[in-house]
Chains A and B, each alone.
Chain A
């Protein structure tokens, strides 16, 4: 019996000691095809450059990861984990589960040039309490995706002002086409519309104040956003029954030519093209200006990598984060992802008009919002988006909804 116990102890000793020497454990939620391929590439390249490190990579299901990260950060922390920027990482930072990586941002040693300079525009969304908590590696633009052929057939040119936009909707509606498609079953799509109306009506600073809980939801400026929203909801410019559809299901009317526009992220391009749309009939434009003179800020959600504070191999984890921030690495992974690199020295995949338009738009953006559910705390976001969906189905309940959201705000931010 004693022998067995001793040999067991020895076995565990061997196992744990081998896992210390140069093993880098990485957990990611990259279960979809393109992100998975991107990480396969990164890990292979990292191992080639660092032959002394063996990477152990665990891929989690994209949805399940949101639950598992809360467990594994505490109980079985990897050395690197991916997550999202903005307020989405706040609970982990506050609970002391993410490692402060400000030193990488200050002086990364083998990064070509200064990181803070090369990723200046993303630094803000990685900063909490004056420190940086991770490295961003990809982002993508939001905006309006539209059917070029339907616009041409109805004599509409790409709208750049709010009046043009509303007029375009009216023309399309009169022609029997649903102006804007949306699937709000999973709620977050409504936040994209709200964010853009808010960013264009009140500007980026107000968006941040609202999501940080500094402004009441009953504020006249919030009312102004809903006044604009009324102009689209009340005449029925959005797809009917949107509450029953997921965002993917709401693509169908657009593919069939029954709907003309979709306020969406760039990830919608891939399924739209798979369903048969081409560069010739699918286009992208920036969400039009509402209040003249307000600088145009955009939605650009950022994906990030972090080091859990309980990680065993922090040295190699930092090497990996530095590696992920490099211009050449970001260039390659974003070519695979079909998204935009954060490092401004990376070049973008050529021949993709959507990425080119997105890059151009974001390079000229005044500021970048992460998205309502990443900038606002989770509890506020869930109630907020529920409210937006209810409003889109019952615009006359606006006041009641805003009062309820205000009640939630007072609870969440106290």
Chain B
């Protein structure tokens, strides 16, 4: 005993810190790539926004010039305003998805097939949806042309009109987004506690009351997720705009994401600095939202744990 005590086993530094270090080793590959491909580009991009650069010639430092110009740029405000329209009207996907989910949440023959068919729009590529809706909207010979004729709008082109183009694109964007929200709510409905509904029924709740006070609160997580993906979808609405209008007519259906692309990378663009300035503004808007989202998540988790 004494001998053992006098010669304590040597514990290496590794053995002492193994538990602390090993998670970082496992995380390292992911963290390194996250840093290289996500974090670093953000700062590089913010850096470029202070330069005037066409991607070929040497860049010239211009300070805040790009941002000052942005403040005086009509198209920037149009894009910002359109982003807001997207945020508001894209939200329709959430209640519509919920409605469809409740409608489909029943046990009849073949419901699985019907559910998957309703989910189908989300599986189709956005590009294909954009293209097909462009054909729908085609004046005179598109699918909706006869209906427009009925209400006296003969030969009206939704995508060529500066007032309606954005709404036309949002409508097309809703088609897959509703399916996405639908699937979120369907999984949410699966997890609803039937005992609570029974209890509610016994207490005399039915119809809308039952839905609003018993079902909806239990769908809180699904609702939260649906809103999050819809907001992100609205802010990064790029592919639909690119396919359906290229921001046209004359820039009136532009959104920030597409305007950034147009300025920095399109055939006539190559204003890397200006494009980066737009990207930085878009990033700032998203950052506010993401911080709020993370804060909510953090708070929810603490509530759940308590």
Contact = CB atoms under 8 A, between A and B. Distances in A.
A66 B55 CA distance: 13
Contacts of B245: 185
B81 interface: no
A381 B268 CA distance: 7
B147 to A, nearest CB: 17
Interface string A60-83: 000100110010001000000000
A387 B137 CA distance: 24
A61 B251 CA distance: 26
A243 B160 contact: yes
A382 B155 contact: no
Interface in A181-222: 185-187
B248 A185 contact: yes
A379 B57 contact: no
B210 to A, nearest CB: 47
A244 B268 contact: no
A387 B74 CA distance: 12
Interface stretch (A49-57, A89-97, A157-165): A89-97
B28 to A, nearest CB: 25
B130 interface: no
Interface centre among B74, B156, B268 (most CB of A within 10 A): B268
Contacts of B139: 240-241, 244
Interface string A395-414: 00000000010000001000
B188 to A, nearest CB: 40
A393 interface: yes
B267 A378 contact: yes
A334 interface: no
Nearest to A387: B250
A149 interface: no
A379 B157 contact: no
A70 B56 contact: yes
A389 B249 contact: yes
Given A91-B57, A404-B74, A393 B162 contact: yes
Contact of B269 (A241, A242, A382, A387): A382
B175 to A, nearest CB: 19
Contacts of B265: 67
B138 interface: yes
B239 interface: no
Chain A CB count within 10 A is highest, among B155, B246, B250, B266, for B250
A243 B246 CA distance: 11
Contact of B250 (A241, A373, A379, A390): A390
Contact of A379 (B246, B248, B249, B269): B269
Given A373-B268, A379-B268, A379-B271, A70 B157 contact: no
B157 A244 contact: yes
A318 interface: no
A298 B197 CA distance: 79
B57 A94 contact: yes
Contacts of A92: 56
A386 interface: yes
Contacts of A66: 267
Contact of A382 (B56, B157, B160, B268): B268
Contacts of A387: 250
B198 interface: no
B55 A70 contact: yes
A244 B160 contact: yes
B101 interface: no
Contacts of B156: 241
A390 B57 contact: no
Given A70-B56, A379-B271, A244 B159 contact: yes
B130 to A, nearest CB: 13
Given A379-B269, A393-B160, 8 more contacts: A67-B265, A241-B157, A241-B160, A243-B249, A244-B159, A245-B160, A387-B250, A404-B74
23 contacts: A63-B267, A70-B55, A74-B56, A97-B56, A185-B245, A185-B246, A185-B248, A241-B139, A241-B155, A241-B156, A241-B157, A241-B160, A243-B157, A243-B248, A243-B249, A244-B138, A244-B157, A244-B249, A378-B268, A382-B262, A386-B250, A389-B250, A390-B250
Q: Which 8 A-B pairs give the minimum distances between C-beta atoms?
A: A382-B268, A244-B160, A390-B250, A243-B160, A241-B157, A243-B249, A95-B56, A244-B157
